[in-house]
Amino acid sequence: MRKRKRFSFIKLLLFLVIAFAIFYFVASMFYQPETPSSSTTPSSTVDNNTNSNDDKDSYTGYYNASGSSYYNNWQLSSNVGKLNSSVANGVRSKRTTILGNNKDTITIMVFMCGSDLESQAAMGVSDLSEMNAATISDNINLIVYTGGTTKWHADGISTRYNQIYQVKGGGNGILRLVENAGSGSMVDPATLTSFIEWCADNFEANRYELILWDHGGGSVSGYGYDLKYPNNGSMDLAKIDQALTEADVTFDFIGFDACLMANTETALMLAEHADYLIASEESEPGIGWYYTDWLNALSRNTSMSTLEIGKTIADSFVKTCGNKTPSQSATLSVVDLAEVQDILPAKLSAFSKSTTNLINNSGYRQVASARSGAREFAAQNYVDLVDLADLAGNVGTDEAKDLADALLSCVKYNNTSRNMSGSYGLSIYFPYRSSKYVSTVLNTYNKIDMNADYANCVRSFASYQTAGQVSSGGQHSPYQSIGGYSSGDYYSSQDSSDLIYNVLDLFLGGSYASDDSYSSYYGDALDLLFGRNIDRGMTDYIAENHFSTDLNWKDGKIAISKDQWELIEDLKLNVLVDDGNGYIDLGKDSIFDIDKDGNLLKNEDKMWLAASTDKENWQVIPYYYLYQTIDGEEVTFTGRIPVLLNGEYANLIVVIDNDGVAQVIGATYDYREGSGVVAKNLIKLGKDEDADKESDTIAFICDYYRYDGSFEDTHILGEAVTVTDQLYLGDVDISGYDLVSSYELKDIYQQSYWTAPME
């Protein structure tokens, strides 16, 4: 029976303080999926004693960084399902005046960028059907702008031109109002502006609502992916602000039926344009909002308060997702933008200043630990969006507590699926897992006048992180250890602040900066350091807090001291296969053993994930562990399998439940054109009548490296399979292959180190 394990940095620290000999709690998960047939693969029998040595204990707790885990215990009081109708003192009045007594006229504008959600899964037409199924009041004008896709699953909707429709409701159909609204990109601000202006001119009302329908990328990339203009990127927050400013219409609420848009940056930007924000912190399931219920409720009373509208939208969304996509997460919150505008900036500034001061005065590790333990959204996409209240609760300063209280006041209603603890309603960008978006986000901050103190906090944290990575010698990879170099060996001559200072100074002086490989590795984060003086405080801190353990095996173990363990945030097994010409990268999983003396032990597990369409013909596949969710005694592991899905880059999302049963809950496309948005839809594999498809062709893909460690290309692994019904998963014995395995350890700067190979 195969163990996946939970690495606990916090509990590890506590027990190290109590007694050096006790490093970990015993808590492990036994993975027992469908048993593969051994007719065409190595034996699938698992040695049940593989990980049950009495000298071994497993970690308990939560993964940080790329293997984040989340407990179902709320650090702050849960606000799920609690309507907060209070009004904070001193905030501006709402810009929309509700007449009352069902006398209000409402124009709802739905900007529907169909993208692949429609072309692949008919999600746009499905939502139009939900709208039409509602009994819509004569005092409600439901206007939909269509475009942004190469295929509509309904007769009459054009792919050549953008169009404008009115949904009449009650099954009365959808009336086309504008045959040709141009062919502009749906991520062009001018397109959104023209739609808003047209609606305001032709359907005057005292209440205006705007819903942006498609994919989203949060504060990193904003909204939208136009399938007809794949190289146009997305409409970032600055462009959304531009579109709304030029349209000059004030909205009762602005909603995003899109991923990740319930973030602090979006809320602060929208405060000039609307009274409320309705959006999701997490990636939305493809079915999106359920329109029938809330349109019916609003039609019965067009004077319904905006909070009640938002509550109805959130409740019906989470309920419908629970029924139709029970394995997917769902969040939706209703945010008072008047309070965001008048209360949040001062609280955010105070928090940012105190946190920056903490970072610059030997508190980087504390902030890094708070960040790694905060509820993260779209973790597999490395967009670094975390719940701000949860982050503040982890930081724990007085200023952080004040900020958390203010956030909970601004979020008037919040609903989530059960597995989304720590989601309080507003996220924020805080870099940790990847540095590639730092400069992009800071540039957006400048354009939307985002809180300058928070921008400085982000810059300070990212600067320490990048400097910590640079001081370790730059890129480390498993291929360096395969060649006889253990990344920990680098520090045999780098144990003083003077030498680390020299490394940083050399890097910033241009010797490393001109190296394309370094520029590629560090991405935009290099901009954080160029022109910045490396002060002695930063250098001393990094010198005193850097990982320097020899990662070569001695008698089947690697001894890691207490102080060095305190610097490790993440631990995974990385498995490669030598095929005679180079190395196939099979991925990373949370499998490891550490004895009670703190020694990392060689892996004895020779099992790996395999897939089959018939439970008879199995093939080994690449697999990357992402994170786990802990709900009491139940632990759910989530990972991804990189594939070509019908010829397009995608990831199969895998969930392994508490009983060890693994299943593919869907697929998500990997947008490599650079839009930056996160796919909203988890695509159903196999026959799908709604999407008008009978099957899917899946080719498993992996990275391939030459013997010198250089990346060659992405290769197809094994044979492509056709999935009509279900793709089965299970473990098979891979000991018959020429394995080259090592452990990857990540430190508090998110720098990776690999042990020497175990085979």
The band of 449, judged by pLDDT with boundaries at 50, 70 and 90, is: very high
Stronger pLDDT, 526 or 237, i.e. the higher one: 237
User: How would you label 8-18 residue by residue, b for 16+ Cβ within 10 Å and e otherwise?
Assistant: bbebbeebbee
Does the pLDDT value for residue 663 go beyond 80? yes
Q: How far apart are CA 286 and CA 423, in angstroms?
A: 20
Count of CB atoms situated within 10 Å of the CB of 657: 16
Residue 711: what pLDDT? Answer: 83
Does the pLDDT value for residue 485 go beyond 80? no
Does the pLDDT value for residue 143 go beyond 90? yes
Cβ atoms of 615 and 650 within 8 Å: the answer is: no
The band of 442, judged by pLDDT with boundaries at 50, 70 and 90, is: very high
Residue 133: what pLDDT? Answer: 96
Q: How far apart are CA 27 and CA 632, in angstroms?
A: 12
Query: What's the chain's average pLDDT?
Result: 84
Does the pLDDT value for residue 241 go beyond 50? yes
The band of 399, judged by pLDDT with boundaries at 50, 70 and 90, is: very high
pLDDT, tens digit, 9 for 90 and up, residues 86-113: 999 989 999 999 999 999 999 999 999 9
Q: How far apart are CA 552 and CA 565, in angstroms?
A: 16
Domain ranges of the chain: 2-61+560-754, 106-434, 471-544
Does the pLDDT value for residue 341 go beyond 90? yes
Residue 657: what pLDDT? Answer: 82
Does the pLDDT value for residue 610 go beyond 80? yes
Q: How far apart are CA 28 and CA 17, in angstroms?
A: 23
Residue 410: what pLDDT? Answer: 98
- Which range, 506-510, 634-638, 697-701, has the best average confidence (pLDDT)? 697-701
DSSP state of 693: B
The band of 7, judged by pLDDT with boundaries at 50, 70 and 90, is: low
User: How would you label 735-759 residue by residue, b for 16+ Cβ within 10 Å and e otherwise?
Assistant: eebebbbbbbbbbbbbbbbbbbbbe
Element (H, E) at 124: helix 123-133
Does the pLDDT value for residue 524 go beyond 70? no
From residue 746, give the alpha-carbon distance in Å to each of 24, 45, 100, 464, 526.
18, 32, 58, 15, 20
Mean pLDDT of 342-346: 97
Classify 163 as helix, strand or coil. strand
Per the structure block, which two tokens stand in for 398?
């007085």
The CA-CA-CA angle for residues 437, 438, 439, to 5°, reads 100
Does the pLDDT value for residue 41 go beyond 80? no
Stronger pLDDT, 242 or 49, i.e. the higher one: 242
Cβ atoms of 654 and 640 within 8 Å: the answer is: yes
DSSP symbols for 713-727: EEEEEEEEEEESS--
pLDDT, tens digit, 9 for 90 and up, residues 201-237: 999 999 999 999 999 999 999 999 999 998 899 999 9
Residue % of the chain over a pLDDT of 70: 81
Q: How far apart are CA 68 and CA 573, in angstroms?
A: 15
Residue % of the chain over a pLDDT of 90: 61
Q: How far apart are CA 256 and CA 427, in angstroms?
A: 14
φ and ψ at 188, to 5 degrees? -85, 125
DSSP symbols for 306-362: HHHHHHHHHHHHHHHHHHH-TTS--EEEEEEHHHHHHTHHHHHHHHHHHHHHHIIII
DSSP symbols for 9-45: HHHHHHHHHH-TT------EEEE------SSSSS---
Does the pLDDT value for residue 9 go beyond 70? no
Stronger pLDDT, 9 or 537, i.e. the higher one: 537
The band of 678, judged by pLDDT with boundaries at 50, 70 and 90, is: confident
Residue 682: what pLDDT? Answer: 78
pLDDT, tens digit, 9 for 90 and up, residues 48-91: 223 333 444 433 222 233 334 444 445 788 999 999 999 999 89
Residue 673: what pLDDT? Answer: 54
Element (H, E) at 269: helix 264-270
Does the pLDDT value for residue 182 go beyond 80? yes
Residue 676: what pLDDT? Answer: 65
Residue 375: what pLDDT? Answer: 92
DSSP symbols for 443-473: HHHHHTT--HHHHHHHHHHHHHHHHHHHHTT
The band of 187, judged by pLDDT with boundaries at 50, 70 and 90, is: very high
Does the pLDDT value for residue 573 go beyond 60? yes
Cβ atoms of 564 and 549 within 8 Å: the answer is: yes
φ and ψ at 477, to 5 degrees? -150, 165
Mean pLDDT of 3-10: 54
Cβ atoms of 462 and 528 within 8 Å: the answer is: yes
Cβ atoms of 264 and 458 within 8 Å: the answer is: no
Q: How far apart are CA 467 and CA 506, in angstroms?
A: 12
Residue 70: what pLDDT? Answer: 44
Mean pLDDT of 674-681: 68
Q: How far apart are CA 373 and CA 300, in angstroms?
A: 44
Residue 20: what pLDDT? Answer: 35
Cβ atoms of 263 and 448 within 8 Å: the answer is: no
Element (H, E) at 131: helix 123-133
Which residue has tokens 């040695």? 47
Does the pLDDT value for residue 118 go beyond 90? yes
Q: How far apart are CA 109 and CA 255, in angstroms?
A: 10
Residue 23: what pLDDT? Answer: 34
User: Among 387, 356, 386, which residue's Cα sits nearest to residue 462?
Assistant: 356
Cβ atoms of 221 and 673 within 8 Å: the answer is: no
pTM of the model: 0.86
Residue 533 contacts by C-beta under 8 Å, 6 or more apart in sequence?
Answer: none
Cβ atoms of 283 and 379 within 8 Å: the answer is: no
pLDDT, tens digit, 9 for 90 and up, residues 12-21: 443 343 333 3
Residue 470: what pLDDT? Answer: 78
State the Cα torsion 342-347-348-349 to the nearest 10°.
100
Q: How far apart are CA 167 and CA 155, in angstroms?
A: 15
Stronger pLDDT, 51 or 314, i.e. the higher one: 314
Q: What share of the chain is helix, strand, coil (3-state, %, to 5)?
A: 30, 25, 40
The band of 543, judged by pLDDT with boundaries at 50, 70 and 90, is: confident
